[in-house]
Chain A
Amino acid sequence: MKQSRFWAWLVFGVGAAYFLVPLIATFEFSLRMRRGYYSFDSYASVFSDPKFQQTFTYSAVIGLLSIIVGILIVVPAVYFVRLRMAWLRPYVEFLTLLPLIIPAIILVYGYIRLYNSSSIIPFTGSAVGTDILLTFAYVTLALPYMYRAVDTGMRTIDVQTLTEAAQIAGANTPQIIARIILPNILVAVLSGAFLTFAIVIGEFTIASLLNRPAFGPYLQNIGANRAYEPAALAIISFIITWGAMSMINLLSRFAPRTSARTD
């Protein structure tokens, strides 16, 4: 028994070292901008860069839009599939898994060739069109996570019974979704939202290939041209990701507990 605990600590310790050393090293590096002593100059330099503010704002806005579009697409689909179209379920699940199978670079390649300026739907023909395409692309990237979060949320609250209760009380379907289902799966939806945000905020491949002024390409550009700012940006990105994940953790404490019924 003593021995198994020794091995467990050893494995844990080595793992912890691998994960903490790069964070420490990056932080240390980010403080070295001024010769001779540690300073937060690199952070000041990053935050005062108007490009940083612009691209971050742009990505945050696109991220928010992706979250809204994602919710509008996923919530009704999950609801009806759970409630009355169980036969669709395997197909829907397969579709939501596709973004894990098809790499982002391939999706965006397909978009560029399919929706170019001379096609029927010329998304890439204008800046606004490309922004919309980028939003949809991010919805696609986040689809597996958003779907899973919402689906789990609906499973725990037992949509069927809630819906029947609401119907008896005289509510119609849009009312049921908006007033009964959504508030009850709010926590699950918000988890999906934060995950979407974490995935989207620093996304590089799609934004870069669609030539949008997003945070990811900005990061890459800084990386190629500066010495200390990239380290500061890595720390900032880590904190943003960590913040999004902690929000999910925090939210899960408010999630409704599984109802008695299981399926």
Chain B
Amino acid sequence: MTTLDTGTKAPAKKRALSFEWLGVAPFIVFAIMFLILPTLYLVGAAFVDEKGGFTLANFAGLGTPQIVAAYWISIRISGASAILGALIGLAIALALIRGKLPLGLRAAVMTFSGVASNFAGVPLAFAFISTLGRLGLATVILKFVFGIDIYKAGFNLLSFWGLTITYLYFQIPLMILIIAPAIDGLKKEWSEAASTLGATPWQFWRYVGLPILWPSFLGTLSLLFANAFGAIATAYALTGSSLNIVPILLYAQIRGDALQNPGLGAALAVGMILITGFANVVYLVISARAERWLK
């Protein structure tokens, strides 16, 4: 229906066409200058050695134990916070939408999710230090009221689990925001049809509900992964540079050439782009598949 194109106003066509380009040009120039070129520059720099010649040594340099360890812990934290965030977010969204909870509750949770998913960065780190830090309220209450000393038990906010729990604060709400429309898309008739055919609620979810949500779930999972993988502010504010995750390593490199090799820094960045890019390609492929169903 929207194909009433330029052909209908032939005389004005030329002028209109230049207007179109004038309108789109700032966007395109902007995207080239601030998205494409900087990225391409880094990709190029990753293949250049210190004397300006072509090299693959920078990528080989990624194999040093320190960098491999950084990637590994980054992937683990991002993976854990994405998987847990996606599962918990899905459970909460399902409870809200399909669990017959009061309607007002849903609106409140959606608003809160909008806030919490944007409440990342430095303040989030402060909040978790106040909660689960050595003197945090939860730590203290657990210790003096319930007699559980989580720090004695091996917990540390500045660790894999500490960071994962902190990241969940924005991962879960993001999942809720993205998956809620998909859950809304589950028609009431599907579960009713399943139940007239003899299926229990669990069988409905097993054979119909969850398979339909699966692509959205996987897609959002990869989005959450990328989201956590690139995040630095929370981790930096929480741990300073004591936790060796890739973005913090890169941050140190940018600040003071910590790796003492700009090419290696670029390779580190390219490695990050490859990982988040891969996660997003997964997202795009999966969501295209999901849309086909829901036509």
Which residues in B have their C-beta under 8 angstroms from that of A99? 35
A95 in contact with B35 (CB, 8 Å): yes
CA–CA, A233 and B131, complex, Å: 15
B26 at the interface (CB under 8 A from A): yes
Residue of A nearest to B140 (CB): A25
Question: Contact string, B5-44, partner A, CB cutoff 8 A, digits 1/0?
Answer: 1100100000010011011101110110111011101100
Which of A9, A110, A245, A248: most chain B Cβ within 10 A?
A110
Q: How large is the interface on B (under 10, 10 to 19, 20 to 34, 35 or more residues)?
A: 35 or more
- For the complex, give the distance between the alpha carbons of A140 and B20 in Å: 22
Residue among B111, B121, B169, B272 facing the most chain A CB atoms (10 A cut-off)? B121
Render A229-240 as a binary contact track against B, CB cut-off 8 A, 1 for contact. Answer: 011011001100
Stretch at the interface among A51-59, A85-93, A182-190: A85-93
Q: Please measure, in the bound complex, the distance between the C-alpha atom of A83 and the C-alpha atom of B136, giving whole angstroms.
A: 55
Closest to A219 in B: B122
A51 to B98: give the CA distance in the assembly, Å. 48
Does A173 touch B at the CB level, under 8 Å? yes
Residue of B nearest to A108 (CB): B254
Does the CB pair B137–A76 fall under 8 Å?
no
User: Majority SS of interface residues in chain B?
Assistant: helix
A108–B96 CA distance with the chains assembled, in angstroms = 39
Alpha-carbon separation in the docked complex, A248 to B100 (Å): 26
Whether the Cβ atoms of A88 and B24 lie closer than 8 Å is yes
Cβ–Cβ < 8 Å partners of B95 in chain A: 7-9, 11-12, 15
| Contact of A12 (CB < 8 Å), options: B101, B111, B227, B269 | B101
- Counting chain A CB atoms within 10 Å of each CB, the highest count among B24, B92, B276 belongs to B24
- Could you give, for residues 250-268 of chain B, a 1 whenever the CB lies within 8 Å of some chain A CB and a 0 otherwise? 1100110000001001100
Contact string against B for A residues 65-102, beta-carbon threshold 8 Å, 1 for contact and 0 otherwise: 00000001110110111011110100010010111111
Q: Is the interface of A mostly helix, strand, loop or mixed?
A: helix
| Inter-chain contact A76/B118, CB cutoff 8 Å | no
Whether the pair A238, B115 counts as a contact (CB closer than 8 A) is yes
Known: A29-B130, A110-B39. A204 touches B226 (CB 8 A): no
Q: Looking at the assembled complex, report how far the CB atom of B148 sits from the nearest CB atom of chain A, in whole angstroms.
A: 15
Query: Please, which residue of chain A has its CB at the minimum distance from the CB of B223?
Result: A100
Among A92, A101, A246: residue with most chain B CB under 10 A? A101
Q: Is B185 an interface residue (CB 8 A)?
A: no
Residues of B within 8 A of A (CB): 1-2, 4-6, 9, 16, 19-20, 22-24, 26-28, 30-31, 33-35, 37-39, 41-42, 45, 88, 91-92, 94-96, 98-101, 105, 109, 111-112, 114-116, 118-119, 121-131, 136-138, 168-169, 172-173, 201, 223, 226-227, 229-233, 236-237, 240, 247, 250-251, 254-255, 262, 265-266, 269, 272-273, 276-277, 280
Q: List 29 A-B contacts (CB under 8 A).
A: A1-B100, A8-B95, A8-B101, A9-B95, A12-B92, A12-B101, A18-B168, A24-B137, A29-B130, A74-B27, A80-B19, A81-B24, A85-B20, A92-B24, A98-B31, A100-B280, A105-B254, A109-B254, A139-B30, A202-B122, A205-B251, A219-B126, A220-B237, A224-B240, A230-B126, A231-B130, A241-B118, A245-B118, A249-B111
Q: Which 5 residue pairs are nearest across A and B when measured between Cβ atoms? A: A8-B99, A103-B230, A110-B38, A25-B137, A76-B23
